[in-house]
Amino acid sequence: MSRYWNDRVRGLVPYVPGEQPKDERDWIKLNTNENPYPPSPSALAAIRDALGDSLRLYPDPDGTPLREALAEYYDLSPEEVFVGNGSDEILAFAFMTFFDSARPVVFPDITYSFYPVYAAHFGIPFRTVELEEDFALSADKLIRAAEGGGGILFPNPNAPTGVGLPLTEVRKILDRADDQLVLIDEAYVDFGGETAAGLIRSYPNLLVVQTLSKSRSFAGLRVGFALGNADLIRGLERVKHSFNSYTLDRLALAGAVAAIRDEAHFAAARDKIIAARERTIAALRELGFIIPPSQANFFMAGHPQLNAREVQQALRDRGILVRHFAKPRIDGYLRITVGTDEQMDRLIACLRELLLHENRTGGRS
């Protein structure tokens, strides 16, 4: 603590990112929802082409070529697209643009753990809506909780549960909460969720946020984007140009444009991940694991006979990193990223072995 910090910083409880191991061990890294497959070779080639003397010049502060590529992809205009340094930066900008201290925002009780951090940081009050017993998000409950509120925010599919909300329910929220911004965080939507991108022109209160970190294998490049009514996008631009005008560097812009255009590469990796997810979930359920249905590149798994925290450590001892959240309702589960087929085989084998051991030793915990 320093005497030079302001009061808000003294009270902050910052976000804790998942571990990025720095040692040389060849970890099976299923803890931060990265894509196990490499980025598009044509995107890497585009970065290589942009890598040269022109790096002495500032990038385009508006990210125009990337906005054009995304507009084309989603059948929108570039004025309906905002780009930023990862979707986290865009979420932060959205908090600064659309929410205020007068009215609470609403999000699920179990959700991306950065939301309450943003709220505290920007001085925005919030209410949470309890997920159903099966971890589904109830649109009706959300709408009721948002009455008189200042905004709605949820991931679809949700994290860390992986559970998706059907578009019919999304529409219901947009219709009924038309007095406030509805921010849908679609970081994982490409793995089987239903995107609301097609609803942008119908709902002036809808902002959809996505990222290239997951389905485009570019977590290390830091590119996210938002889709929404041009008025909403202009608000984000005002905030960005009051914060940092050049958030995306020349290499990230070049790589992102090419990644968006390489549909075949994207689709192949996505399909492999979805297949591996379904196969893994089926195998683990056979072992007695309880796993909510996932539309993401991760799933949440708990076992009545196993202590999740201990399983996390046991997997770590075997070279597999997964994530555990010491939070009510989900502390009996692990969040496991879907990796390659080989990685999933190894995961299943390790969990089977742990269960066998548990059954043999009679379940001391």
What is the nearest approach in angstroms of a copy of itself to the Cβ of residue 269? 9
Q: CB under 8 Å to 24, separation ≥6 — which residues? A: none
What is the nearest approach in angstroms of a copy of itself to the Cβ of residue 349? 24
Q: Residue ranges of the alpha helices (H) in 60-166? A: 64-74, 86-98, 114-122, 139-145
What is the nearest approach in angstroms of a copy of itself to the Cβ of residue 66? 14
Number of neighbouring beta carbons within 10 Å of residue 213: 23
Beta strands in the chain (DSSP E): 28-29, 81-84, 105-108, 126-129, 152-155, 182-185, 206-211, 224-228, 298-302, 320-321, 333-337
Residues in the chain: 365
How many Å apart are CA 94 and CA 280, to the nearest integer?
36
What is the nearest approach in angstroms of a copy of itself to the Cβ of residue 312? 19
What is the nearest approach in angstroms of a copy of itself to the Cβ of residue 47? 6
Q: Are strands 298-302 and 320-321 parallel, antiparallel or unpaired?
A: unpaired
**Closer CB to a copy of itself, residue 98 or residue 299?**
98
**Closer CB to a copy of itself, residue 181 or residue 301?**
181
**Closer CB to a copy of itself, residue 5 or residue 140?**
5
**Closer CB to a copy of itself, residue 255 or residue 302?**
255
Which contacts (CB < 8 Å, 24+ apart) does range 266-274 have? 266/40, 266/190, 266/215, 266/216, 268/37, 269/35, 269/37, 269/215, 269/217, 270/190, 270/191, 270/215, 272/37, 272/340, 272/341, 273/35, 273/36, 273/37, 273/191, 273/297, 273/338, 274/191, 274/192
What is the nearest approach in angstroms of a copy of itself to the Cβ of residue 255? 8
**Closer CB to a copy of itself, residue 34 or residue 358?**
34
**Closer CB to a copy of itself, residue 184 or residue 291?**
184
**Closer CB to a copy of itself, residue 155 or residue 164?**
155
**Closer CB to a copy of itself, residue 238 or residue 309?**
238
Helix and strand totals (H; E) in the chain: 12, 11
Please report, to the nearest 10 degrees, the dihedral formed by the alpha carbons of residues 314, 317, 323, 328 taken in order. 30
Do 161 and 131 form a contact (C-beta atoms < 8 A)? yes
What is the nearest approach in angstroms of a copy of itself to the Cβ of residue 159? 15
What is the nearest approach in angstroms of a copy of itself to the Cβ of residue 362? 40
What is the nearest approach in angstroms of a copy of itself to the Cβ of residue 167? 21
Do 174 and 151 form a contact (C-beta atoms < 8 A)? no
**Closer CB to a copy of itself, residue 54 or residue 361?**
54
CA 344 to chain centre: 21
